[in-house]
Structure 1
Amino acid sequence: MMDLASYSLQDFIPFTADVYFRLLARMGEAFWPLQSVTLLVGFLALFLSLTGRVRIALGLLAPLWAFVGVAFFAQRYSGLNWAGTHICWIWLCQGLLLLLLAVTGWGTALERDTGADWRTALLRTLLTPSVQAGLLIALCGLLGFPLLGVAMGNGWPAVEVFGLHPDPTAAVTLGLLLVGFRGSALWFTALVPTLWLCVSALTLKVLGAAWYPALLVIVAVAVTGSVASYRPRTAR
């Protein structure tokens, strides 16, 4: 039998830091200037979620998960890691799940109050701890990753952006799910983006990226927000 204890985490990362970060840069360069569109979609989805129109927001997210699954994992990442094709299918399934939730509305916690304007709905929503955590995570995904890339000296086409790259896409989605879902529905829908952020954090750790703890902090904030949102039913 194979002795798994003889393997280290590095044995499961079949590429170097230079190769991986160049892949991320090429992904952005290949689809420039689509980043501007995906960022606008991300901010729109966040606004819709905060004002109670979660199902529309999910409908915006679903095709982006499918796009990242095919364009990044199947067509690019799979050339570095044999697992890329399998991860693509996972991302496609998550995109399908988001689409089904957009159509059915199952598990959504927020509904738009047609008697109140969007400002009232927004202020009411922001009083919830899980929503505050989700807003923080979503903004980190929308703004934090591009700003990090710029700080590292990368040009705008080469930075990681929501809707094109997996890490910011998973982070923003996780944030929006915290805004729009509660309890068991939240845990179920957030599983894939949470697991990906953990896998990515471990990958970045192996590659020597100093910012890998930020992904674990996002996961920790998400778990805390999920626990805060859970309110078990009381017996009648």
Structure 2
Amino acid sequence: MSEWWTYEPRDLLMFSPDVYYRLFELQNTDLWPAQILAVGAFLAGLVLIARRAPSAGRIVAALLAVAWAAVAFGYFHTRYASINLAAPYYCWAFATQAVLLLLSGVGFGRLGYTERRTGLQHFGVALLVFALFLQPLIGPALGHPWTGAEIAGIAPDPTVLATLGALLAADRIRWELLPIPLLWCAVTSATLITMGSPEALLMPVAGAASLVVAVCRGLQSRWDDRATM
């Protein structure tokens, strides 16, 4: 029997990297052509944000809520639960975020995109564009099959980054919508680091940058409010 100190963190995983990435292939195969609908929906939301449409806030919040619910039950409950005992907790966390988006963004209309954007808000738009069009290319660029590309609304990581981008691009920071996406950046990073995945630092770096931008925008809003008093 090997001594305990000879084990590496990856030895404690309940699955191998091959099994982990295989889930995305199975997910994409079973849901095709839902990926086209997901990208199209997010693209429509991006256009509404860019045009600063009055209805953009509620529509984007609704799209994000559907995406989080789809990942919660379509990925974590249906797929990830077969290899990770923690998957049910992730499922309910994503479902909770979907409810928060519906309540805050749709019900109370607290998400808006009507004001002129600042430089910090452009970071949010850039993050949203990255999640939609560049993040799906990372897996294939690292040698994973194209059929396993991670798509926003289908896979968790791009859904989280797209959400952070949409929240940071809004007129005001809605703090109640940030904790779960930021926590997921840490959780998925721990999994990827343990597996030795080359893209392991992407999510924590994006999450940390998002938190810094959110704090800076919050401080800026307070300063502006005091200046107008």
Structure 1 and Structure 2 fold alike (TM over 0.5): yes
Distance 1:80 1:213 in 2: 23
Map residues 52-131 of structure 1 onto 2, 5 A cutoff.
52=52, 53-111=56-114, 124-125=116-117, 128-131=118-121
Structure 1 distance, partners of 2:78, 2:160, is: 19
Q: What letter matches 1:209 in structure 2?
A: S
Letter in structure 1 aligned against 2:39: L
Determine if the alignment matches structure 1 residue 145 to structure 2 residue 148.
Answer: no
Contact 1:73-1:85 within 8 A present in 2 as well: yes
Name the amino acid aligned to 1:168: P
- Cα distance in 2 for partners of 1:105, 1:181 equals 15
Task: Report the alpha carbon displacement of residue 153 of structure 1 after superposing the two structures with TM.
Answer: 4.2
Q: Measured at CA, do residues 11 and 157 of structure 1 come closer, stay the same or move farther in structure 2, by a change above 3 Å? A: closer
Q: Which amino acid aligns with 1:76?
A: R
Counterpart-to-counterpart distance in 1, 2:26 and 2:110: 37
2:20 equivalent in structure 1: 20
1:4 alignment counterpart: none
Distance in 2 between residues matched to 1:95 and 1:207, nearest whole Å: 28
The code of the aligned residue for 1:18 comes to D
List alignment gaps of at least 5 residues for structure 2: 1-6
What is the TM-score of this pair, normalised by structure 1? 0.82
SS at match of 1:163: coil
The normalised TM-score by structure 2 is 0.85
Percent of residue pairs bearing the same amino acid type: 32
Cα contact 2:57–2:110 (8 A) shared by 1: no
Structure 1 unmatched ranges of 5 or more: 1-6, 112-120
Indicate the RMSD between aligned Cα atoms, in angstroms: 2.2
CA drift at 1:149: 2.6
**How far, CA to CA, are the matches of 1:196 and 1:99 in structure 2?**
19
Please name the residue that 1:165 is paired with.
155
Give CA deviations for 1:171-193 in whole Å, capped at 9, x if unaligned: 1011001111534x2x3201111
The 3 A distance-change label for structure 1 pair 12 and 105 is farther
The letter of the residue matching 1:83 is A
Change (3 A) 1:24 1:48: same
Structure 1 residue 51: deviation in Å? 3.0
* Residue pair 1:201, 1:212 contacting (<8 A) in 2 also: yes
Q: Which one-letter code corresponds to 1:222 in the other structure?
A: S
Q: Partner residue of 2:33?
A: 33
Distance 1:141 1:170 in 2: 8
Assess, with a 3 A threshold, how the Cα gap between structure 1 residues 162 and 196 changes in structure 2: closer, same or farther.
same
Name which of 171, 196, 218 aligns with 2:206: 218
Alpha-carbon distance, 1:106 to partner: 4.5
Cα distance in 2, alignment partners of residues 95 and 181 from structure 1: 20
For residues 199 and 212 of structure 1, the distance between their equivalents in structure 2, rounded to whole angstroms, comes to 11
- Secondary structure of 1:40's partner? helix
1:234 to 202, 226, 229: 226
Cα shift at 1:206:
0.6
Q: Which residue of 2 aligns with 1:116?
A: none
2:161 and 2:206 in contact (8 A); partners too = yes
